[in-house]
Structures are given as C-alpha cells and as structure tokens.
C-alpha cells in the first residue's frame, strides 16, 4: 500500500513518528512535507497529499496539523477525497467501515504517539463494509460530479 503523508509544523513531529511506523510495516510512503518545525501553511501540504490520493498516485493518505481540523478541511476540498479527522480508535474503524475514507487526519497537538499509532493501525486494517454504506458513498460521489 502506498500512503501519501503530509503535515504542517504543528503535525511535523507526529508525522515523523507515523512515517517511521508505516515504513516499518513495509508500506511505501510519499512524504509531501513539511520537513521542519518552521511555521508553514497546512493547506499547501494537505492539498498535495489529497491530490495524490485523488489521482491514484497513492492508495490512501494521512495528514496531520496541530488539531487536524484545518488540514482535514483542506483535503476534503479535493474531489474524490473522504478525509476523516480521528482522535480515537473507534472513529478510525467506523470511518473505514461506513465511510470508506481514503484519508485520515489527526492533530499532532491533540493526541499522543501511542494513541496516534493505534488509530493509524485501525484505519489501515479496517475494511469498508459496503452494503447500505455504498449507497451513501455513491450519493456523495454523485453530488461531486454536479460541481
């Protein structure tokens, strides 16, 4: 699996931890930055990662900013992206089961290392259920086509 990964300065340290985890699981990681704690705009990095997922260059994406809010809003502006902000394992599982999310957002200033890695693991290992949920996802995709 190829993962698009991005953060701003508020998510940089957690992004590095997540990157190490993903590489340890033999996943391919495309890191869109940022590469330091220097202040940057989350939107510059979130868009790049979301576009990689939307155009098929990556299977899924993980984006991180201070709270996860700004970068998740940014990712969701890209057509075809279903980015879910998760700060607990249950939400990570449900966003895959019910929403078939293709991007995960987290807040580097909101959750710690261990919880973040459990969220990532759950999100990566949980499959989409389909069924009635597929109909709902299709309605979202149909609406996007109208734009």
Q: Which residues are catalytic?
A: 65, 98
pLDDT of residue 145: 86
- Boundaries of domain holding 93: 2-146
**Alpha-helical segments (H) within 7-147:** 12-24, 42-54, 69-75, 89-97, 113-125, 132-146
pLDDT of 147 above 70: no
pLDDT of residue 130: 81
Q: Name the domain count of the chain.
A: 1
For the record, the structure tokens of 99 come out as: 């929403």
Q: How far apart are CA 82 and CA 77, in angstroms?
A: 9
3-state secondary structure at position 117 = helix
State pLDDT tens for residues 78-106: 999 999 999 999 999 999 999 999 999 99
State pLDDT tens for residues 21-50: 999 999 999 999 999 999 999 999 999 999
- Determine what percent of the chain is predicted with pLDDT higher than 70: 99
User: For the domain that residue 67 is a member of, what is the CATH number?
Assistant: 3.40.1400.10
């Amino acid at each position: 699996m190829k993962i698009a990964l991005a953060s701003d300065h508020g998510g940089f340290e957690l992004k590095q931890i997540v990157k190490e985890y993903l590489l340890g699981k033999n996943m391919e990681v495309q890191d869109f930055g940022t590469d330091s704690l220097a202040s940057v705009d989350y939107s510059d990095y979130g868009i790049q990662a979301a576009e990689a997922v939307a155009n098929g260059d990556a299977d899924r994406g993980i984006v991180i900013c201070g709270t996860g809010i700004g970068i998740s809003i940014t990712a969701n502006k890209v057509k075809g992206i279903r980015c879910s902000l998760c700060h607990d394992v249950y939400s990570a599982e449900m966003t895959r089961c019910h929403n078939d999310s293709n991007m995960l957002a987290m807040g580097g200033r909101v959750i710690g290392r261990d919880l973040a890695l459990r969220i990532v693991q759950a999100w990566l290992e949980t499959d989409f259920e389909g069924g009635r949920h597929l109909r709902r996802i299709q309605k979202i995709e149909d609406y996007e086509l109208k734009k």
